[in-house]
Chain A
Amino acid sequence: MTASDSNPVSPWPEQIFDVLKRAEVRQVGYVPDAGHSRLIKACQDEGSMHTVSLTTEEEGIALAAGAWLGGQRPALLMQSSGVGNCVNMLSLMKSCRFPLLTLITMRGEWAEFNPWQIPMGHATPQALEMMGALVYRVDQPEEVADTVEAAADLAYNGDSVVAVLLSQRLIGRKQWVKK
């Protein structure tokens, strides 16, 4: 048993929300993921944030570039399978040094039940690094807030794409059959 198993209501999604709010993030693009569901809901309920539901993750990269051009801080929420969809669009961030904080829930690793998630999950850190993103990984709930806060500083003050990978172990086992 891990901390996240024994404590399924660990408040790390709410802690991420608090960090985004303190960092004055104003545009949050997302492609839904079960691991992000509480954070997405919190952002939708926050009046100061535009939440933008995307048809594909690469839209979120271009949206973020526009947000920054217009003077707002962007964040992008997705699962690891979406990282592959972003590869070419990340050229925009590198060519223009646009900042972006992206929070990525991992699939295809610890206790994954779906083999189709494994190839992209496995390639996620390399795909991000290949396109110039700085990549941090969190396995323990108590590390989430600090890591995301540091990543936000690095992104917005350093004109960089910074990705935080939220590990599958942190998120917990996906329940295939709803109880």
Chain B
Amino acid sequence: MSRANLLDRRAVAKALLEGRDDTLLVVTGLGSTTYDCFAAGDHDLNFYLWGAMGGAAVMGLGIALAQPDKKVLVITGDGEMLMGMGALATIALQKPDNLSVVIFDNGHYGETGMQQSHTGGGVDLVGVAKACGIGDTQEINTMEGVAKLKDRVRTGKGTLVARVSIAAEETPRALPTRDGVELKLRFRKALGL
């Protein structure tokens, strides 16, 4: 891929998570976004999905409703979001003030051999989010935009769905623990539960 304005996924994840603290709770979609966020720096309040395809955004909703004083950030891929697109309708009705869903959209299924996804074929997930009634929807194509997005996620109010244009390139794998019980227990412990 040599088109302009396609961002490096590792650089975007790093910028979004830079200097994060215990007020930010993160869920990552299976596959590349899990690796990206782990590569950006492990944290007890990162919940890495290794499965549950289509579930990341609604899982973020459950956390957001339970923890209204924290910010919840779901970082997932276009393929994962497409599988659970109804979640955008469900989230739109709930209107959580503290939930951001950021879609790393490379238009491909990176984990399975870079087959083109529906977004690669023209489906517009931000348009879907907008049509569902999500209050704040954004298209991000530059690292300056990513820096603003980072601030919006941490200090803004209202449900946000953002699509970041990501280059369809393979990145070295960075693998967090696959033990779901460990991920659950450390997340809850970090919240004092």
Interchain Cβ contacts within 8 Å, total number? 116
Q: Which of A27, A74, A89 has the most CB of B within 10 A?
A: A89
Q: Across the interface, do B89 and A71 meet the contact criterion of CB distance under 8 Å?
A: no
Contact among A54, A74, A89 with B52 in the assembled complex (CB-CB below 8 Å) = A89
Contact among A64, A91, A95 with B62 in the assembled complex (CB-CB below 8 Å) = A64
Q: For residue B64, which residues in chain A have a CB less than 8 angstroms away from its CB?
A: 66, 70
The answer to whether A58 and B55 touch (CB under 8 A), given A53-B90, A97-B180, is: yes
Q: Which of A54, A67, A70, A97 has the most CB of B within 10 A?
A: A70
Give chain A nearest CB distance to B86 CB in angstroms: 3
Query: What does the 1/0 interface line of A119-159 toward B look like (CB < 8 Å)?
Result: 00000000000000000000000000000000000000000
Asked if A12 is at the interface of the complex by the 8 Å CB criterion, the answer is no
Give chain B nearest CB distance to A82 CB in angstroms: 13
Q: Report the Cα distance A3→B72, complex, angstroms.
A: 48
Q: For residue A177, which residues in chain B have a CB less than 8 angstroms away from its CB?
A: none
Give chain B nearest CB distance to A43 CB in angstroms: 14
Residue of A with least CB distance to B56: A62
Q: Which residues of chain A in 30-83 are interfacial with respect to chain B, using CB atoms and an 8 Å cutoff?
A: 50, 52-56, 58-59, 61-72, 74
Q: For residue A58, which residues in chain B have a CB less than 8 angstroms away from its CB?
A: 54-55, 84
Query: What does the 1/0 interface line of B86-107 toward A look like (CB < 8 Å)?
Result: 1101100110000000000000
Asked if B181 is at the interface of the complex by the 8 Å CB criterion, the answer is yes
Residue of A with least CB distance to B62: A66
Residues of B within 8 A of A (CB): 25, 27, 47, 49-56, 58-67, 84, 86-87, 89-90, 93-94, 180-181, 183-184, 187-188, 191, 193
